[in-house]
Structure 1
Amino acid sequence: MSRSIAVFVLGLVILGASAASQALELTGPLSQGALVRGQVAPGSEVRLNGDPVRVTDDGRFVLGFDRNAELRQQLTVLAPDGSRRQKTLTLAERDYRVQRIDGVPGRTVTPSEEHLARIRQEASQVREVRDTDSSLTGFLGDFIWPASGRITGVYGSQRIYNGEPRSPHYGIDIAAPAGAPVVAPADGVVTLAEPDLFYSGGTLIIDHGFGVSSTFLHLSGFEVTVGQRVRQGDRVARVGSSGRSTGPHLDWRMNWYQVRVDPNTVAPAPTAGHTP
Structure 2
Amino acid sequence: MIARRLVLACPLCLLAAPARAITLHGRIEQGAFVTGTAAPGTRLALDGRPVRVAAGGEFAFGFGRDAADKATLAITRPEGARETRSLAVARRQWIEQHITGLPPAMVTPPPETLERIAREREMLREARGGHDTPQPFFTEGFDWPVTGRISGVFGSRRILNGEPRQPHFGVDVARPTGTPVAAACSGIVRLAQTGMYFPGSTVVLDHGHAVSSTYMHLSRIDVRVGQRVAKGEIIGAVGATGRVTGPHLHFEIAWRGTPVDPQTALPPMPEA
TM-score, structure 2 length as denominator?
Answer: 0.91
Determine which of 107, 111, 114 is the counterpart of 1:113: 111
2:184 aligned residue: 185
In 2, Cα distance between the equivalents of 1:221 and 1:192? Answer: 13
**Which residue of structure 2 aligns with residue 160 of structure 1?**
159
Q: Which residue of 1 aligns with 2:226?
A: 227
Q: Which runs of 4+ in 1 moved over 6 A?
A: none
Q: Return the offset for 1:90.
A: 1.0
| Count of residue pairs brought into register by the alignment | 256
Q: Is residue 42 of structure 1 aligned with residue 28 of structure 2?
A: no
User: 2:70 is aligned with what amino acid?
Assistant: R
CA distance in 1, matches of 2:126, 2:209: 15
Residues 51-60 or 136-145, more deviating: 51-60
1:162 shift after superposition: 0.5
Secondary structure of residue in 2 paired with 1:70:
coil
In structure 1, C-alpha distance between the alignment counterparts of 2:202 and 2:125, rounded to whole Å: 13
**What's 1:65 paired with?**
63
Superposed displacement of residue 18, structure 1: 5.4
Return the alpha-carbon distance in structure 2 between the equivalents of residues 51 and 220 of structure 1: 36
Deviation at 1:271, TM superposition (A): 4.9
Moved more, 79-88 or 36-45: 79-88
What aligned pairs does 1:85-100 form with structure 2 within 5 A after superposition? Answer: 85-100=83-98
Query: Which residue, out of 108, 117, 125, partners 1:127?
Result: 125
Instruction: Map 1:197-236; keep pairs closer than 5 Å.
Output: 197-236=196-235
Task: Return the letter of the residue paired with 1:60.
Answer: E
Amino acid of the residue matched to residue 115 of structure 1? T
Contact 2:147–2:270, Cα closer than 8 Å, also in 1 = no
Partners of 1:51 and 1:234 in 2: how far apart? 32
The residue identity in structure 2 corresponding to 1:122 is: E
Aligned to 1:266: 265
From the superposition, tell whether residues 18 and 101 of structure 1 become closer, same or farther in structure 2 (CA, over 3 Å): closer
Look up the match of 2:141: 142
Distance 2:218 2:135 in 1: 25
State the match for 2:11 in structure 1: none
Report the counterpart of residue 82 of structure 1 in structure 2.
Answer: 80
Mapped partners of 2:161, 2:110: distance in 1? 17
Number of the residue aligned with 1:8? none
Partner of 1:54: 52
CA–CA distance in structure 2, aligned partners of residues 40 and 194 of structure 1 = 37
Distance 2:49 2:131 in 1: 17
The match for 1:32 among 3, 27, 30 is 30
| CA distance in structure 2 between the aligned counterparts of 1:170 and 1:51, rounded to whole angstroms | 21
Q: Does 1:244 align with 2:256?
A: no
> What residue identity is the alignment partner of 2:175?
A
Distance (whole Å) between structure 2 residues aligned to residue 268 and residue 27 of structure 1:
14
Q: Tell me which residue corresponds to 1:194.
A: 193
Give identity over the alignment, percent. Answer: 45
Residue 204 of structure 2 contacts residue 214 of structure 2 at CA under 8 Å; is this kept in 1?
Answer: yes
Alpha-carbon separation, structure 1, partners of 2:166 and 2:191: 23
Residue identity opposite 1:39 in structure 2: T
State the distance in 1 between where 2:99 and 2:265 align.
27
Distance in 2, matches of 1:211 and 1:50, equals 15
Q: Shift of residue 91 of structure 1?
A: 1.5
- Richer in helix (by share): 1
CA distance in 2 between counterparts of 1:77 and 1:39 reads 12
Q: Distance in 2 between matches of 1:95 and 1:214?
A: 24
SS in 2 for 1:140: helix
Q: Provide the rounded CA distance (Å) in 2 between the counterparts of 1:123 and 1:142.
A: 27
Structure 2 gaps of 5+ residues are 1-15
Q: Equivalents in 2 of 1:93, 1:155: separation in Å?
A: 14
User: Shift of residue 50 of structure 1?
Assistant: 3.0
Q: Which amino acid aligns with 1:84?
A: R
Paired residue secondary structure (2:94):
coil
For the pair shown, which has the larger CA radius of gyration, 1 or 2? 1
Alpha-carbon displacement from aligned partner over 1:255-274 (angstroms, at most 9, x marks no partner) = 112211011011012256x6
